Structure 1
Amino acid sequence: MDRTTLRARAWLTGIAALCGAWLIHQGAAVETAAPQPSGAEAFTAGAQPRPGTGAARPLRPSVPVRIRIPGIGVDAPMTGLGLGPDGSLDAPPAGDRNLTGWYEDGTPPGARGTAVVAGHVDDAQGPSVFYSLGSLKKGAEVEIDRRDGRTAVFSVDAVEVYENDAFPDKRVYGPTPDASLRLITCGGGYTRETGYQGNVVAFAHLTGVR
């Protein structure tokens, strides 16, 4: 089994922790599910995730420190996430609703490859940092400040939702020759008893550097 497969499985297990057990035990305060992406924001039928027009040259790796998504009001610090003793990805600390995490043993945002950033959708007090991820539109900008003083600017290519039992590991986590980004939170079917039964994934590619 190669490293990409291991990493994908680790992420899938960790994201399940964001969406399943934690919400089941804690209970979500919201009465209705978070916004879900419409079919218009998905890739066209049969299309594979590939960088769109205007792809920028990948940057050297550098630790990300902050993410901004103006279209949905996100402005949040970032923390590194590792793997727990069972091999699953640690979730961002639940006590801070405005915090995102990136897999620090993977690709840093802006570098060549597929970077993954995760955030909670809600908690017992209400909406969290990625609550509105499902309402993100194609072409929206995602800005990530890095420790090297540069800001990597990404353009959203599509936003899709997958049920847990049909999560496409390779499609989401597969390696890319350019600087790609995946934003992930809970989504799909929802009840107050079970929490969310899937994930919302936003696909984006690097288009600029400031």
Structure 2
Amino acid sequence: MTVASAPRARRAPGHGRLLTGVAWALLLLGLWLWGKDITSGPGGLSAPTTGDVAAVGRPLGVPLPPARPPMEPAAPERLEVPSLGITAPVVPRGLDEDGAVDPPPYEEADTVGWFRDGAEPGTEGAALLVGHVDTETDPAVFYGLSSARPGERIEVRRADGSVARFTIDDVRVFARDEFDPGKAYGPREAGRAELRLITCGGTFDRATGTYSANVVVSAYLTDALPGDPA
């Protein structure tokens, strides 16, 4: 039922590895939350890209719609990013023993994890969705995440039948020595419903089995479809 975010292209030998590179950034999330109100929401993860630090920003001539007010709480069930071909179930996840967001197991590499102790997608704050970039042999759900661009749409189908529609406004690749948890996980504007999609990026180190960076796609709520009547 799940669809990878990119065709299963042939990978260089040894390049596809476990998503251990995600842990360092999400460990910072655990530390960052010590000094924050956890319900105000944090961030996400992405796929390989060239270079360790990059920022796409807003392309000239791409108007972004106004934000709409936050929705009532409801757990996410499915993520869709039409421009990237991502259609994937969303499951709740917590922090592991190291204080990092625990992504879905590798057996479910085409599933997205939602940080259940943060904001729900569509509610005030920044909701965090994390996913694997690859496994030892294949691309995973967020393999193409670094190809996202501002102005593109993200939809989150929620447990009450409603659909939260987000517009991407920022795509960044954070290297280890440039990583800022506040920028990655914190809300950009007070009172707004925001979303972060997060995975590994940068270059892969075969010796350590880690990536050098994390991709963070940021979006904000611009539209919504109502849920089932109570």
TM over 0.5: yes
- Give the secondary-structure state (helix, strand or coil) at the position aligned to 1:185: strand
Number of positions where the alignment pairs a residue of Structure 1 with one of Structure 2: 183
CA positional deviation for 1:53? 3.4
User: Which amino acid in 1 is paired with 2:219?
Assistant: A
User: 1:166 & 1:157 partners in 2: Cα distance?
Assistant: 20
Residue in structure 2 matched with residue 179 of structure 1 by the alignment: 193
Residue in structure 2 matched with residue 42 of structure 1 by the alignment: 57
Residue in structure 2 matched with residue 28 of structure 1 by the alignment: none
User: Which amino acid in 1 is paired with 2:145?
Assistant: L
- Give the secondary-structure state (helix, strand or coil) at the position aligned to 2:146: helix
User: Which amino acid in 1 is paired with 2:56?
Assistant: E
The equivalences for 1:44-193 within 5 A come to 53-175=65-187, 176-193=190-207
Q: C-alpha offsets along residues 121-165 of structure 1, whole Å, 9 cap, x if unaligned?
A: 001121000000001111110000000110000000010101123
User: 1:111 & 1:96 partners in 2: Cα distance?
Assistant: 27
**TM-score where L is the length of structure 1:** 0.77
C-alpha change, 1:107 and 1:209, in structure 2 (3 Å) is same
Are 2:212 and 1:197 equivalent residues in the alignment?
yes
Residue in structure 1 matched with residue 18 of structure 2 by the alignment: none
Contiguous gaps of at least 5 residues in structure 2: 1-31, 226-230
Q: Which moved more, 1:109-118 or 1:165-174?
A: 165-174
User: 2:34 & 2:161 partners in 1: Cα distance?
Assistant: 30
Q: Which has the higher strand share?
A: 1
- Give the secondary-structure state (helix, strand or coil) at the position aligned to 2:105: coil
User: 1:108 & 1:198 partners in 2: Cα distance?
Assistant: 26
C-alpha change, 1:39 and 1:107, in structure 2 (3 Å) is same
Q: Which has the higher helix share?
A: 1
Q: Which moved more, 1:137-146 or 1:189-198?
A: 189-198
User: Which amino acid in 2 is paired with 1:73?
Assistant: G
User: 2:166 & 2:68 partners in 1: Cα distance?
Assistant: 9
Sequence identity, in percent?
Answer: 38
CA positional deviation for 1:36? 5.2
CA positional deviation for 1:88? 2.6
- Give the secondary-structure state (helix, strand or coil) at the position aligned to 1:149: coil
User: 1:82 & 1:39 partners in 2: Cα distance?
Assistant: 29
- Give the secondary-structure state (helix, strand or coil) at the position aligned to 1:117: strand
Q: Which moved more, 1:125-134 or 1:34-43?
A: 34-43
**TM-score where L is the length of structure 2:** 0.71
Q: C-alpha offsets along residues 79-137 of structure 1, whole Å, 9 cap, x if unaligned?
A: 11112233332122111121000110110000011111100000112100000000111
User: 1:134 & 1:89 partners in 2: Cα distance?
Assistant: 20
- Give the secondary-structure state (helix, strand or coil) at the position aligned to 1:171: helix
CA positional deviation for 1:74? 0.3
User: Which amino acid in 2 is paired with 1:199?
Assistant: N
